[in-house]
């Protein structure tokens, strides 16, 4: 099974409600889809969102990086040589992690197809059912409480609450949501770099003293402020999770050595794909550090790949934040992983199991 051609498409899926964080507001998923064709007739699919404020990737840069730097290296490569292909992808150019991830996802899809097995099985196996949280966007307090209650009524037992806009209002938001769902759902706070270290400690002490029990606090400070992240981790009882502060394996090693966070958030669009995500999970397992697997605003193409990784590495990936499909108005993918609100399950179909992607617009290069 050798790679013969790589194509691109644009996929647009409106969200059920605007996605609002301390960094941005988004109303529609608009992602680049990568299609890898082979001489055997097998097709692999990958996907990458343009998350410029986090990864630096744009639609244009994703297509350019793949078309001009990655694709020429892969034409003629045999899918069976997976490690060689992933090395070719990762060394094609610096950064551009979302572009690399999209290509890797499509390659791993084909690798599963080559051995006629769902991807998670060739990654090590596991129980093919996991449970995700859902994001509650930052908004007016009444709206956030209503959204939280709605999510709980739909069966979600963990809520990721977006904060980081205004420290005083953030505290009131969290108190109100906690009072509304106490005993029915766990709360995960995500400040998306919106607080200073001292603000984060103040907010968490205020909440902890008020009896608000939180599962974790995600990325309270700026991505580059590792000292600030450690300052918070050392001073609050609630576990602190690093997200934007860690992209690749080396950053994870340094963060763990510094004890700057308690949990690592793995995202394929940060790691550059599945190969480094697996490395990060293995590193964290060696140090006894828990991981979450998350996603950007992605559809069930790339989120499916993250699901397979989560199942195969469930010994260390203990928390799941793969709610992109749940936030979307519809699922454009036929086949593959089944997303049913909080429950996500994998079929026995080879690779990612994708049969068709509806509404895909060709991108000419």
DSSP letters spanning 30-68: EEEEEEEEETTS-EEEEEEE--TTTT---HHHHHHIIII
Q: Binding site membership for substrate: which residues?
A: 24, 135, 160, 295, 297, 321, 323
Q: Binding site membership: which residues?
A: 24, 135, 160, 190, 218, 243, 295, 297, 321, 323
Could you tell me if 57 and 97 are in contact, meaning their C-beta atoms sit under 8 angstroms apart? yes
Q: Binding site membership for Mg(2+): which residues?
A: 190, 218, 243
Question: To which residue do tokens 């006894």 refer?
Answer: 288
DSSP state of 342: T
CA-nearest of 2, 33, 112 to 363 is: 33
In whole angstroms, give the CA distance from residue 302 to residue 48.
Answer: 7
In whole angstroms, give the CA distance from residue 325 to residue 323.
Answer: 6
Sign of CA dihedral 329, 323, 308, 186: negative
> Would you name the residues annotated as active-site residues?
162, 267
Determine what percent of the chain falls in helix, strand and coil, rounding each to the nearest 5. 40, 25, 35
Structure tokens at 312: 């195969």
């Amino acid at each position: 099974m050798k790679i013969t051609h790589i194509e691109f498409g644009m996929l647009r899926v409106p969200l059920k409600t605007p996605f609002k964080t301390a960094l941005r507001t988004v109303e529609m998923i608009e992602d680049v889809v990568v299609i890898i064709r082979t001489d055997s007739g097998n097709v692999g699919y990958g996907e990458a969102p343009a998350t410029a404020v986090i990864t630096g990737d744009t639609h244009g840069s994703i297509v350019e990086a793949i078309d001009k730097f990655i694709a020429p290296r892969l034409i003629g490569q045999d899918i069976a040589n997976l490690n060689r292909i992933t090395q070719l992808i990762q060394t094609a150019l610096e950064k551009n992690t979302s572009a690399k991830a999209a290509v890797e996802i499509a390659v791993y899809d084909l690798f599963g197809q080559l051995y006629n097995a769902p991807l998670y099985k060739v990654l090590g196996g596991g129980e093919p059912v996991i449970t995700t949280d859902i994001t509650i966007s930052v908004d007016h307090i009444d709206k956030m409480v209503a959204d939280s209650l709605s999510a709980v009524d739909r069966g979600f037992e963990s809520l990721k609450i977006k904060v980081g806009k205004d420290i005083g209002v953030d505290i009131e938001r969290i108190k109100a949501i906690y009072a509304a769902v106490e005993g029915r759902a766990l709360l995960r706070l995500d400040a998306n770099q919106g607080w200073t270290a001292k603000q984060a400690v103040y907010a968490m002490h205020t909440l902890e003293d008020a009896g608000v029990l939180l599962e974790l606090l995600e990325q309270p400070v700026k991505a580059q402020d590792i000292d600030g992240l450690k300052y918070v981790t050392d001073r609050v009882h609630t576990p602190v999770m690093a997200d934007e502060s860690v992209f690749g394996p080396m950053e994870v090693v340094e963060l763990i050595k510094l004890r700057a966070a308690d949990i690592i958030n793995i995202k394929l669009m940060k790691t550059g794909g599945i190969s480094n995500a697996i490395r990060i999970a293995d590193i964290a397992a060696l140090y006894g550090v828990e991981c979450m697997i998350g996603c950007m605003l992605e559809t069930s193409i790339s989120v499916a790949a993250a699901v397979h990784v989560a199942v195969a590495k469930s010994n260390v990936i203990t928390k799941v934040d793969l709610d992109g499909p749940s936030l979307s108005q519809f699922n454009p993918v036929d086949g593959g992983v089944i997303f049913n609100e909080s429950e996500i399950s994998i079929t026995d179909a080879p690779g990612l199991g994708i049969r068709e992607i509806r509404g895909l617009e060709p991108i000419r290069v």
